[in-house]
Amino acid sequence: MIRVDRRKLRRSLVCWLALAPLVVVVLFPFAVMLLTAVKPADEVFVYPARWLPSHFRWANFADMWVATRFGVALQNSLIISISSTVLAIAVSIPAAYALARYHFGGKGFYRQFLLVTQMLSPILLVIGLFRLAAMIHVAGGNMVDKHISVIVAYAAFNIAFAVWMMSSYFATIPPDLEESAWLEGCGRARAIFKVFLPLALPAMVVTAIFTFINGWNEFAVVYTLIRSDANKTLTVQITDLVAGRYTVEWHQVMAATVLATLPVSVLFAWLQRYLVKGLALGAVK
Amino acid sequence: MPRTVFGRPLTPWLLILPSFALALFIICYPLYNIVFQSAHEVSRFGLIKGFCGLDNFRKVFADPIFIASLWRTLWWTLGVVGGTVLVSVPVALTLNQDFYGRGVARVIVMLPWSVSLTMTAIVWRWAFNDEYGMVNVSLQRLGLISSPVHWLATSTTAFPVMILVGILVSVPFTVTIFLGGLSSVPVDIYEAARIDGASAWFQFRKLTLPLLRPFINMAIVLNVIYVFNSFPIIWVMTQGGPSNSTHILVTYLYERGFRLGKPGEAAAVSLVMLAMLLCFTAIYLKIQPREGSQA
């Protein structure tokens, strides 16, 4: 039998009241997005507008899928986000391990370097990034409008985050475990693979998912480097439906944002407490 | 310490090398290239026409739109970061209480973080649509305005609206940092204070705020860097318009470089921004009290 705690109930009421304005503002765009996405087109552009649709028109999603070439953009987003995540995590695991386990000259320098990479955001470098992509010639063409250039750029810009997150988690794994495996005649490398990595796996998965979300949500780099419709990702494709247009099919745009956003939001909501923990750990280190 | 038995001195550098090399490659060449382009006359298609010294900088600084954008960037950064910290402290304190539905509340507060800035900006642009947008519809229903407000088409409202959107998307990250800070605050000092009869406001001012100070500092630094560089919100919502009245430096830079075909001048703007960030960091490091090994 649950006994309702009177004081806690009163406190809950106060807390929710205090949060109410923010909650409303946070949920407002989600409501706009979801309700517009299922509105029949003739109800979107009617004055005075109304919040609720007369009926839910799910066909908006099917129309949008064809009209915006959503499938191609989705595929591009997946390719770029997954590949850049794999690359970023692959180079960040050893670095995070080194930061968590070794004391060495230059550790401070490397940390500062990571901080600087965070400061030099992609948008500041975008002019130079574009020239870099235009300069590298492989197999008769340059790297502009190629997925690989976006993938490498994303991976590089995510290293700081990935190393920071993973090293803070790695540091919480007691080194004694490896040391004892090591004393039992297990090689260094073997100890890492047999003892350390299995324990570090959750941290790596969580970091990978957030790196994936970063890639999925990024705009400036892909907007600059990718030129052709066939190679555009969702963020760029959907922006193109809106930017510099006189007539915008808002119900389709909202349907597209729902599909591009909701899966990632759910993933994020599910995992956000790990992010909270990881960043906090990294912060006090 | 036993840590030193963990291998030869070269090993950590080998472990760091791949990430170091990749980051260096993607950052150093573009940086070099920007410096190079900023000192050259560059055609729309990136052809270098010749050395021109500081001409690009001179042109940029002679442009009234640039000067206006420079000031607006300061207001933008100050407004968004200041607003974010002011909103985030009470929100973090509330979320740190033990109350029914706290898990749900945390998820809701974190939600804007999960959505790309681009998508957020697109949705808000639609919400602020003159005739059909839900902001005007709701405000009219509530009787707060009598006729639709042209939020994004008016320069005096467009910029504040975008600052509010900027605050909204920065709150989750900032609350996250503060919650991390609050979780490290020992509970017993509050109990001691309560026994001594300290008021809630006194506890906040004398206990919570000083303990939260390093986290507030960190949140300010990181947010200043992110917000200063924030591109999608303004680019998607107004593209710097109406009539260049909402440009900040990043949108000005992008328009110069990729819309108006002046990569040399855009590179110069990049360097100006970089110098501003370095100044900020240097000032921060100077005024920040040394605190042991804090990163």
What letter would DSSP give residue B88? H
Residue B91 to residue A22, Cβ atoms within 8 A = yes
* A92 and A137 within one domain: yes
Q: How confident is the model at residue B7 (pLDDT cuts 50, 70, 90)?
A: low
The pLDDT score that the predictor gives to residue A152 is: 94
Residue B44 lies inside a defined structural domain of this protein: no
Taking residue A44's Cβ as centre, other Cβ atoms within 10 Å add up to: 22
Q: Which of B281, B93, B82, B253 is nearest to B166 (CA)?
A: B82
Residue B21 lies inside a defined structural domain of this protein: no
Residue B169: pLDDT above 90? yes
Residue A42 lies inside a defined structural domain of this protein: no
CATH of the domain at A130: 1.10.3720.10
Q: Which of B122, B232, B266 is nearest residue A127 as measured by Cβ atoms? A: B266
Which residues of chain A make contact with B90, given a CB cutoff of 8 A? Answer: 18
Q: What is the mean pLDDT of residues B122-129?
A: 93
What letter would DSSP give residue A173? S
* A121 and A28 within one domain: no
Mean pLDDT (chain A, rounded): 87
Q: Which domain holds residue A240?
A: 67-284
Which position has the higher pLDDT, A13 or A246?
Answer: A13
The pLDDT score that the predictor gives to residue A101 is: 87
Residue A78: pLDDT above 90? yes
The pLDDT score that the predictor gives to residue A285 is: 44
Q: Which domain holds residue B104?
A: 64-287
Which residues of chain B make contact with A279, given a CB cutoff of 8 A? Answer: 176-177, 180
Spatial contact of A251 and A36, defined as CB atoms under 8 Å apart? yes
Residue B99 lies inside a defined structural domain of this protein: yes
Which residues of chain A make contact with B168, given a CB cutoff of 8 A? Answer: 25-26
The whole-angstrom separation of Cα A243 and Cα A122 is: 21
Mean pLDDT (chain B, rounded): 87
Residue A36 to residue B126, Cβ atoms within 8 A = yes
CATH of the domain at B103: 1.10.3720.10
Q: Which residue type sits at B262?
A: K
Residue B292: pLDDT above 50? no
Residue A173 lies inside a defined structural domain of this protein: yes
Residue B240 lies inside a defined structural domain of this protein: yes
- ipTM value of the model? 0.86
Residue A280 to residue B179, Cβ atoms within 8 A = yes
Residue B2: pLDDT above 60? no
Residue B4 to residue A103, Cβ atoms within 8 A = yes
pLDDT tens digits, residue range B11-40? Answer: 888 999 999 999 999 998 999 999 999 999
Residue A56 lies inside a defined structural domain of this protein: no
The pLDDT score that the predictor gives to residue A33 is: 93
Strongest mean pLDDT among A72-81, B48-57, B111-120, B177-186 = A72-81
Residue A45 lies inside a defined structural domain of this protein: no
The nearest alpha carbon in chain A to B253 belongs to A124
The pLDDT score that the predictor gives to residue B10 is: 83
Residue B254 to residue A51, Cβ atoms within 8 A = no
CB pairs under 8 A between A and B: 301
Residue B226: pLDDT above 80? yes
Spatial contact of A154 and A82, defined as CB atoms under 8 Å apart? no
Q: Which of B18, B91, B235 is nearest residue A19 as measured by Cβ atoms? A: B91
The whole-angstrom separation of Cα A166 and Cα A94 is: 10
Spatial contact of B86 and B97, defined as CB atoms under 8 Å apart? no
Residue A229 lies inside a defined structural domain of this protein: yes
- Our count of domains for chain B comes to 1
B41 bridge partner residues: B50
The pLDDT score that the predictor gives to residue A280 is: 60
Residue B55 lies inside a defined structural domain of this protein: no
B23 touches chain A (CB under 8 A): yes
Selected residue of A85, A118, A119 to mutate for chain B interface (largest B Cβ count, 10 A): A119
The pLDDT score that the predictor gives to residue A169 is: 84
Residue B208 lies inside a defined structural domain of this protein: yes
The pLDDT score that the predictor gives to residue A279 is: 64
Q: What is the mean pLDDT of residues A235-257?
A: 88
Selected residue of B16, B88, B149 to mutate for chain A interface (largest A Cβ count, 10 A): B16
Residue B198 lies inside a defined structural domain of this protein: yes
* A16 and A130 within one domain: no
pLDDT tens digits, residue range A32-74? Answer: 999 999 998 888 887 777 888 888 888 889 989 998 889 999 9
Q: What is the mean pLDDT of residues A210-236?
A: 91
Q: How confident is the model at residue A234 (pLDDT cuts 50, 70, 90)?
A: very high
pLDDT tens digits, residue range A142-190? Answer: 888 999 999 999 999 999 989 988 888 888 888 888 888 888 878 778 8
Q: Which of A87, A119, A285 is nearest residue B277 as measured by Cβ atoms? A: A119
**Longest Cα pair distance anywhere in chain A, in angstroms?**
78
Residue B234 lies inside a defined structural domain of this protein: yes
Spatial contact of A258 and A146, defined as CB atoms under 8 Å apart? no
Which position has the higher pLDDT, B215 or A272?
Answer: B215
CA distance to partner chain A, nearest, from residue B216 (Å): 12
Q: B188: which residues sit within 8 A by CB, 6+ positions away? A: none
B99 touches chain A (CB under 8 A): yes
Q: How far is CA A257 from its chain centroid? A: 15
- Our count of domains for chain A comes to 2
Spatial contact of B170 and B81, defined as CB atoms under 8 Å apart? yes
The pLDDT score that the predictor gives to residue B50 is: 83
Which residues of chain B make contact with A10, given a CB cutoff of 8 A? Answer: none
The pLDDT score that the predictor gives to residue A2 is: 61
Q: How confident is the model at residue B8 (pLDDT cuts 50, 70, 90)?
A: low
B142 touches chain A (CB under 8 A): no
